[in-house]
Amino acid sequence: MIERGIPLNEMIYAGKMPILALRGLTVFPDQTVHFDVGRSKSVLALEAAMKQDQTLLLIPQKDLMVDDPRLADLYSVGTVARVKQVLKNQGENLRVLVTGISRGKITEVSQTEPYMAGMVESLPTPETGDPVRAHAMRREANALYGLYVQLCEQPAQAVQLRMMTSESSGFVADAIAQNSGIDFADKAKLLCQLNPNKRLEMTLRLLRQEVEMLRLESDIQEKTKAALDQNQKDYYLREQMKVIREELGEGDEEAEFDDYAKKIQGLHLEKDSESKLLKDVERLKKQPFGSAEGAVLRNYLDVVLELPWGKRTKERIDVAAARKILEHDHFGMEKVKERILQTIAVRQLAPAMPPQILCLVGPPGVGKTSISYSIARSLNRKMARISLGGVHDESDIRGHRKTYIGAMPGRIMTALTQAGSSNPVLLLDEIDKMGADYRGDPSAALLEVLDAEQNHAYRDHYLEIPYDLSDVLFITTANTLDTIPRPLLDRMEIIELGSYTDEEKVMIAKNHLIPKALAKHGLKKSSLRITDDAIREIISCYTRESGVRNLERAFGEICRKAAMDVITREEPKKITVTGRNLEAYLGVRKFLPDRLPCRDQVGLVTGLAWTSVGGETLEVEVNVMDGSGKLELTGNLGDVMKESAHAALSYIRANAKTLGVAPDFYKNKDIHVHFPEGAVPKDGPSAGVTVCTAIVSALTGATVRRDVAMTGEISLRGRVMRIGGLKEKTMAALRHGIRTVIIPRDNERDLEEIDQTVRRQLNFVSAETVETVLNTALNRRSEVPPTILGELPGDVKPKTIQPELRQ
């Protein structure tokens, strides 16, 4: 029975009552709880309690899976509770509202069927310890529970007010345990703990764990929510884009990824390269549609797959067929043709040998680029051209890192893609005109490309995987070797292309340029004829050059005017261009024919010079005047040419008596040396003998033969030293009407490189000392006969100049 006049949570109860086992639920004293009842024994126990005084023992069971618990399956302490309300739910379940009265334990089980009942005894609450400590714990418990409610995002509960005003540690602990998410097992332990202070300490520890758990859950939920929101947004947009792409007929992305993977596997690359590309495909799959990184990866994979991995053209290894093609496309160029045919012959005997790197050096317009195309055609290889003129960034050769905006592969990889073959002929045009700045030196980047020992695993910065360039035939072109770095020059085989002779230009014009111009302008051979004398007149008076570029332009101008005549005439008539009517088509002659002076003169000597566009004659004039021994040099001269003039003067002063010059001329005579065409810069040592001959002529009064030209560097001892550009210089001499050319003895072997037409029309005098030059050029009796190199080809034997050879 219940003792009257005692507070509810302090009532002492003893007697027989129904026992209801709770599964996963704990009810604490002085707490109102509602729960569902569904098991038949529980329903019967509840009905029995309602028939009596509405009290029963609510005790939690240990194992939630046990459907019919016995005494051993229950905890030792439960709660004596009073039933406030019973509602019937759908089915046989009941909704029960109860209020806990006190803790209780079973002293004896009187029955187990049809429901469990027995003797129950209320458990007294022991006396508390230090009241100050208890108060502090209650304050901490209230604050911690307020934080807990805030983290749970629940509205303030009425029990919080009771907790804040309560002075019972047991009540605060029970209220927190009943209204928090503490685990069921821990709640059962709290129910079994009778000491209020210890129970509150346990509750604080468990509540702190719950608060930390809620904080972690809150962080996780926020991050998850943000990720879910973004993912949902991405998913929604992706689905929209998918529908749009399907409407546009752009296909499915998955099919695109599978296509990338199949193409990469079909290339049969090295394991590392294939693995890297497949990883990039996997990365692309994870990118949202339209993302910047996805666009970079797509572009990168497209560039890689466009490269001609393993694609090769079948090379033609036939010397006779290659010779036929080269001869058909170009006239002359025997050295280049022979070198290419040698390469083909070696490839036929040793196919595994890597091709050599050729560098074609020569003046503009001699056919360096066009011969490269003929080489590709003769070898049956694809052709790609890279213009290096003005390139000053290393990235142009090696490419940019693909992380940069607008990155692209280098010119080498781009050319291979354009060629569509891994063994093309790659023409590096104008390699001598590359520059360098703060962005790097492109010539240094070419060192790996043009090295047969390294280019089998060439790495472009954009590709990041090795590519084999060992099968590529590299051909470079240049106008001069002076600006090419030495390490780069060392990797190439130099083949020099000299200037064309006039006869070679005539043959090129007749066989190549005129038919090409006629076809280009829609004319037939029957409608326009250009005679040989007109061709020679154009070469000598309109296009004085080393190559044939301006000559081709001149034929184009003739064809345009001829086409106008054909269209405007009522009766078509064949047009013939001759030397007489040439001015009607090309205008006034730009260059007058070279004419020798009408007589031999004192102090006027013809020298020979080399320029980037071929050879030129160079006149040297000397005047001697009374004065104080000054030497005046004019004509826009460089330092090297000035030094040569001083060296010549020093030689004359040292050998004045032998040369027949007054010994004190340097005291009372001023010498003025002038090179005409003062607007043209001039430099180089090869005019040394020319200046020396002109000064000696002016000082002695001896005339200089007008049909003699000379070239050579002079030393202080009077030696005639070796020079360069002999082929171009001799052709300039022939155009000028010269008949005798004086050359250094060391240049005799270079005569084999000179065209046979030029050799037959010129007499070559080999000079080792200045005495030989003076005896040949000056109109005076020579004590030491000079040496003439005859006109016979091959091994030329010297012979003595006879007096009748002089004119």
Rounded to whole angstroms, the Cα distance separating 122 from 9 reads: 10
Question: Could you tell me if 697 and 729 are in contact, meaning their C-beta atoms sit under 8 angstroms apart?
Answer: no
Reply yes or no on whether 686 is catalytic.
yes
Question: Could you tell me if 673 and 622 are in contact, meaning their C-beta atoms sit under 8 angstroms apart?
Answer: yes
Q: At what angle do helices 131-151 and 169-178 cross, to 10 degrees?
A: 20
* Token pair belonging to 285: 């799959």
β-bridge mates for residue 719, sequence order? 769
Q: Tell the burial category of 762 from Cβ atoms under 10 Å away from its Cβ (0-12, 13-18, 19+).
A: buried
Catalytic residue among 686, 697, 727, 766: 686
Pick from 146, 125, 138: nearest CA to 194 = 125
Rounded to whole angstroms, the Cα distance separating 759 from 763 reads: 7
Rounded to whole angstroms, the Cα distance separating 618 from 606 reads: 6
Q: Tell the burial category of 233 from Cβ atoms under 10 Å away from its Cβ (0-12, 13-18, 19+).
A: exposed
**Contact partners, residue 438, CB within 8 Å, separation at least 6:** none
Pick from 597, 599, 617, 619: nearest CA to 609 = 617
DSSP H helices, 543-582, are 549-568
Question: Could you tell me if 284 and 290 are in contact, meaning their C-beta atoms sit under 8 angstroms apart?
Answer: no
* Token pair belonging to 78: 């439960």
Give the Å distances, CA to CA, from 668 to 625, 649, 686, 767: 8, 15, 29, 32
Measured on CA atoms in the order 399, 402, 407, 413, is the torsion positive or negative?
positive
| The 3-state secondary structure of 239-297, one letter per residue | HHHHHHHHHHCCCCHHHHHHHHHHHHHHCCCCHHHHHHHHHHHHHHHHCCCCCHHHHHH
CB atoms within 10 A of CB 218: 13
Pick from 9, 52, 50, 7: nearest CA to 28 = 9
Q: Tell the burial category of 396 from Cβ atoms under 10 Å away from its Cβ (0-12, 13-18, 19+).
A: buried
| The 3-state secondary structure of 703-731, one letter per residue | EECCCEEECCEECCCCEEECCCCHHHHHH
For the stretch 416-425, what's the b/e string if a residue is b when 16 or more beta carbons lie within 10 angstroms of its beta carbon?
bebbebbbbb
Phi and psi angles of residue 303, each rounded to the nearest 5 degrees, phi first: -65, -45
Cα 719 to chain centroid, rounded:
54
Catalytic residue among 337, 402, 682, 729: 729
**Contact partners, residue 92, CB within 8 Å, separation at least 6:** 38, 43
Rounded to whole angstroms, the Cα distance separating 582 from 561 reads: 12
Reply yes or no on whether 729 is catalytic.
yes
Rounded to whole angstroms, the Cα distance separating 138 from 795 reads: 124
* Token pair belonging to 769: 């000392």
Q: Where in the sequence numbering do the catalytic residues fall?
A: 686, 729
